[in-house]
Structure 1
Amino acid sequence: MGGDRHHRPHERGHGRHERRLRDRRDAGLGLGDRERDDGADHRHADFDHAGTTGNLTDGTSESTSPGTTQGVTDSTTTTGLPPGVCGDGVLNPGEGCDDGPNNGPDAACSEECILNSCGDGTVDPGETCDLGPDNGPDNGCSETCDILPTACGNQEAEAELIPKPVDIIIMIDNSGSMGNEIVGVQDNINVNFAQIIEGSGLDYRVIMVSRFGNDSAESVCIEAPLGGIPQGGCNNPPAQPINGERFFHYSVEVGSHNSWCRLLQTLNGNTKDEFNLAPMGWQEWLRPDAFKVFLELTDDGVECSYNNISYDDNNNVNSGLTAATKFDERLITVAPQHFGASIEARNYKWYSIVGMAYNNPPEQPYSDMDAIVTGKCPTAADNGTGYQTLSNMTGALRFPLCDTSKYDVVFQAIANGVVADAKIACDFEIPPPPEGKTLDEDSIVVEFTPSGQMNPLLLGKVPGLDQCDPMSFYVEGGKVILCPDACTLAQDDKDATLKVEFTCDPLMPL
């Protein structure tokens, strides 16, 4: 690096150069040189005294300047230095340049008669930096000795669109009329439900909220591979459920009408599970970044109260809408980190297997586009209009409860729905810059290319969530986070591609 030497005033360089010239003139010449100079001076005096031109041929004449003679070379230069010395103003062998007294560290020609040029490690006139052999795109100083705006060029990486994890909460009514339905769940939850989700590669877990035990007592026992109880072990269930990596059982009795109240009571552990496996409630098993899916199984309607709020669908459409609206608002209020920060940003769906009448054909589920069903299937107590309405509000499917022989089709449809419902994660890690470089966050650009299209849409960076617009993102905690509208765009097009482009902070080469 040039350091302070490269930033001294030009006059100081000249002063030092003048002194050096005098030193070379006074001390740099040898004794023989001085003797030759003395001889030259005597000869000059003789010629001047004689007033002649020496050995000129007769018939010729030559005009000379005062103090010079024809055929005699002056042994010094106009700088006072002997010929062949750097700084004499003459380009001598081995010199790249020589501007005489104009040589200097900030001049085109150095004090050593070397051309000041890009790549010499010295910041010369017209250059903003010079790292010598390290000049180039990776070190902040270009090959033309200009400070680069980025120390790593333009970087780009494709962001992988990964589905968010899914937490599935299953509520099962433990009333005396639910024995066959519980058996139907136990027979199908592994092969026709968990196995399908597992095969999709989705990161999922199942949380069972229902009384644990033998199905003969309208209790629920889940075996391996989903549960931790070995296959066949539920014929004579162990003393308590065995949880595993993907399955968690919160054992509490659920009555005919109180599913929603039981969910709210047990969420934070206000009502404990009988084995104290989750003292803080089943929320301990939820993951904040996971999409939530509820699955309700009951042959009755909603009629319960909790924290001074009553939920009663009264087996009709209007009351079902009122009850579902209140429960939806309450669920989001008590745990927005899990179920969504607002009604518009719900983070869950509610699937219902309830006592409503069959579709046509019978195994055909009802979608959120179908009206609320007020009829009942043969073995049901009520039609569950509150649960049905919540399914419609959250865009989930509904199934009749009564025909357990069709549970394979029901659970397969729900499993496929869960896979399809899995939301694309709208945040992803920023690709790391090259080693030793620092990311310039302000340079980040995200390209979103819809499936089947060639031209990408550019998403711009905003300071934060409050400044979001439809085509933007912000950076937080080392992650790119798509703004809500851009997130919806990505989640609605799972085959789209996202590319992140960025540059690095310039290195300060001076």
Structure 2
Amino acid sequence: MKLSTKTLVGLVGLGLLAAAAAIGGCSGGGGEANPGNSGSGSGSGSGGSGSSGETSGSGLGDGGGFDVDAGPVDRDASLNGDTACVATRLQADYQQRPADIIFIIDNSESMKDEINSVQRNINQNFASIIAANKVDFRVIMLSRHGSSDVEQSVCIEAPLGSGSCSPVPSAPNTNPPHFYQYNLDISSLDSLCMAIDTLNGAIQPRGETASPGWSQWLREESLKVFVEITDDGVDCTTKSLGASKTLVDEGADIKLYDLDDDEPANRNVAGGTLSAETFDAALTAVAPQFFGSKDARNYKFFSFVGIKENDPITAPWPPEAPATWEQCRPDSVDPGTTYQVLSVMTGGLRYPIQQHATYDAVFQAIADSVVSGAKLSCEIEVPKAPDGHSIDLKTVQIEFTPSDGGQKKTFSQVKSLEECAGASSSFYIEEGHIRLCEDTCALAAQDNTAGMELLYGCSVNPN
């Protein structure tokens, strides 16, 4: 969201926040472990600070403060440009966050049906849905290019790709800016190590010698979404980190292994948990500008693995459901506990890889998750109060004037994000920011040349 502002008192910034996104017959129970919740973080500048209460904030500057006495929000308070202590006029240009989706597809012999299902659905039930929602997206495919029937390889047709796959062309159907393929062999057990080693080109794509890696197609500001598709687990060691001094612990190549998790003597997700944490540490250390940090990740991880199906079978396993060592046999080789734990850690979804007939619904669900992750959220920093005054947060109102001269709307204040669900044309105040509820933000974004005026009541500070 880009902003130009005109303020009567103080300067207010309006910014864009985006959530970061989403993706026969087995039974059994138990064997579950919860590796913990995903981390996230945000920051803002501050001046002085107010005391605690129902609402609070920062960024006051000299001589001003917040009146944060506990008490209900005054929804009946009437303010206008003449009676308000502070009136801030805003004009905003809203932009959705772009999305970079990284598919990692296993090319082993058992993956023919899964690859065919991906090729059938990636256009109609994935890319077209994202494009229809006007999200600036690109798909980055890490997998061998070729025929799915002959060599378990991947060829993406138009419109996502640049042309036909009948016959399969000699090179990938790269189609900037929406589709790129890093042409390399992904085996049953090494996909995560290959993702690290090819990121900056330590391992080159087939037939090339000077590629800078698939990081060349990533955008720092984008939502990152991994989609892992494999019927096996993890057993690999990276080859490109030996000289790295950025990793906090060893500063060297990492070993990932989870194949013993479903053995009768174990039946846990210990290997997957350790491997997921190790991969996450390496990924965020090597490219924090793209993937964030452990405490503020900038990626989601969706996994198609050998997990048993949910009920109904088209429903994903949510991140709240712990990773499990249970798998669907004989339709998969391993439950893929590392991939599962990464999904849980990052707020991604998990699907049973063996349900080929449901890939249409699953791809639609992943597309919806990407769209949701790129959705708008709006916030306005609480401005500086005039010298000798304090802003009474309970009196804050927002007046919205449509650009076509239509009737002015007043956005009312609710106490918290939770109360947004039961209110229309509303906002709440949190951590020194006025945050528009989702529906209100969407309304404002539809008319991005409309006028918005923030009105505040003030009290005089005693000398």
Q: TM-score range by the shorter chain?
A: 0.5 to 0.7
Following superposition, the deviation at residue 278 of structure 1 comes to 7.4
Shift of 1:280: 0.6
Q: Does 1:302 align with 2:234?
A: yes
Residue of structure 2 in register with 1:69 after alignment: none
Distance 2:184 2:453 in 1: 48
The residue that corresponds to 2:300 in the other structure is: 349
For residues 446 and 177 of structure 1, what CA distance do their matches in structure 2 show? 60
Alpha carbons of structure 1 residues 458 and 212: separation in structure 2 relative to 1, 3 Å = same
Separation in structure 2 between the aligned mates of residue 425 and residue 263 of structure 1, nearest angstrom: 31
* Residue ranges of structure 1 left out of the alignment (5+ in a row): 1-152, 429-444, 460-469, 473-485, 503-510
Letter of the 2:192 partner, please give it.
W
Kindly indicate whether residue 180 of structure 2 is the aligned counterpart of residue 235 of structure 1. no
> Higher relative contact order by CA 8 Å / sep ≥ 6: 1 or 2?
2
Task: State the Cα distance separating 1:375 from its structure 2 match.
Answer: 2.1
SS of 2:129's equivalent in the other structure is helix
Where in structure 2 are the equivalents of 1:83-482 lying within 5 Å? 156-215=89-148, 216-229=150-163, 233-244=164-175, 245-276=177-208, 279-306=211-238, 307=241, 308-314=253-259, 315=261, 316-340=268-292, 342-377=293-328, 378-422=330-374, 424=376, 452=423, 470-471=431-432
CA contact (8 A) 1:250 1:278 kept: no
1:157 shift after superposition: 2.4
Query: Separation in 2 of the partners of 1:495 and 1:396?
Result: 26
State the Cα distance separating 1:494 from its structure 2 match: 6.0
Structure 1 stretch displaced more, 269-278 or 296-305: 269-278
How many residues align? The count is 304
Q: From the superposition, tell whether residues 422 and 455 of structure 1 become closer, same or farther in structure 2 (CA, over 3 Å).
A: closer
Q: Could you tell me the TM-score, scaled by structure 1's length? A: 0.55
CA deviation vs aligned residue, 1:456-479 (integer Å, no higher than 9, x gap): 6679xxxxxxxxxx215xxxxxxx
SS in 2 for 1:350: strand
Alpha carbons of structure 1 residues 367 and 455: separation in structure 2 relative to 1, 3 Å: closer
* Inter-partner Cα distance in structure 2 for 1:423 and 1:276: 37
Take 2:210 and 2:377, find their aligned partners in 1: how far apart are those partners? Answer: 28
- 1:371: Cα distance to partner? 2.2
CA contact (8 A) 1:214 1:235 kept: no
- Contact kept? 2:107, 2:185, Cα under 8 Å: yes
Distance 2:98 2:210 in 1: 21
Q: Distance in 1 between matches of 2:93 and 2:453?
A: 10
Q: 1:239 to 1:446 in 2, by over 3 A?
A: farther
Q: Distance in 2 between matches of 1:367 and 1:338?
A: 24
User: 1:427, 1:371 → 2: CA distance?
Assistant: 33
1-structure distance, mates of 2:350, 2:453: 40
> Could you tell me which amino acid in structure 2 is paired with residue 418 of structure 1?
V
Give the distance between the partners of 2:426 and 2:273, measured in 1 at CA: 44
State the alpha-carbon separation in 1 of the partners of residues 201 and 118 from structure 2.
Answer: 25
* TM-score for the superposition, normalised by structure 2: 0.60
Deviations 1:147-173 (A, max 9, x none): xxxxxx977224355320000000000
**SS at structure 1 position matched to 2:341:** helix
How far is 1:304 from its partner? 0.8
* Matched position secondary structure for 1:234: coil
Deviation at 1:360, TM superposition (A): 2.2
SS of the residue 2:324 aligns to: coil
Write the distance in 2 (CA, Å) between the matches of 1:500 and 1:205.
36
Change (3 A) 1:259 1:427: farther
Letter in 1 for 2:294: I
Shift in alpha-carbon separation, 1:425–1:364, aligned structure 2, 3 A: closer
Describe the superposition over 1:143-202 as per-residue Cα deviations: whole angstroms up to 9, x where unpaired.
xxxxxxxxxx97722435532000000000001111111111001100111111111111
Question: What is the rounded CA distance, in whole Å, between the counterparts of 1:354 and 1:181 in structure 2?
Answer: 11
- Select between 252-261 and 447-456 the one with higher mean Cα deviation: 447-456
Kindly indicate whether the alpha-carbon contact (under 8 Å) linking 1:312 and 1:320 is maintained by their aligned counterparts in 2: yes
Partner Cα separation in structure 2 for residue 224 and residue 349 of structure 1 = 26
Given that 1:357 and 1:374 are in contact with CA atoms closer than 8 Å, whether structure 2 keeps it comes out as no
Q: Judging changes above 3 Å, is the alpha-carbon distance between structure 1 residues 455 and 281 closer, same or farther for their aligned structure 2 residues?
A: closer
Cα distance change on mapping 1:199 and 1:379 into 2, 3 Å: same
Distance 2:205 2:379 in 1: 35
- When Rg is computed on C-alpha atoms for both structures, the one with the higher figure is 1
Gaps of 5+ in 2: 1-85, 242-252, 262-267, 381-395, 399-410, 415-419, 446-451, 456-463
**Aligned-residue CA RMSD (Å):** 2.9
Measure, in 1, the Cα distance between the counterparts of 2:327 and 2:167: 34
Q: How far apart, in 1, do the equivalents of 2:98 and 2:278 lie?
A: 27
Contact 2:107 2:144 in 1 (8 A): yes
Q: Is the 8 A contact 2:272 2:339 kept in 1?
A: yes
Distance (Å, rounded) in 2 between the aligned partners of 1:415 and 1:389: 21
* More divergent stretch after superposition (355-364 vs 194-203): 355-364
| Contact 1:313–1:386, Cα closer than 8 Å, also in 2 | yes
Q: Whole-Å Cα distance in 1 between the matches of residues 428 and 224 of structure 2?
A: 30
Deviation, 1:357, is 1.3
| Contact residue 108 and residue 152 of structure 2 kept, 8 A | yes
Secondary structure, aligned partner of 1:235: coil
SS state at 1:222 partner: coil
Deviation at residue 275 of structure 1 after TM alignment: 4.1
Measure, in 2, the Cα distance between the counterparts of 1:356 and 1:401.
7
- Which structure has more helix as a fraction of its residues? 1
CA shift in 2, pair 1:277/1:358, >3 Å: farther
More strand by percentage:
2
Contact 1:166 1:290 in 2 (8 A): yes
In the aligned structure 1, how far is the partner of 2:185 from the partner of 2:220? 26
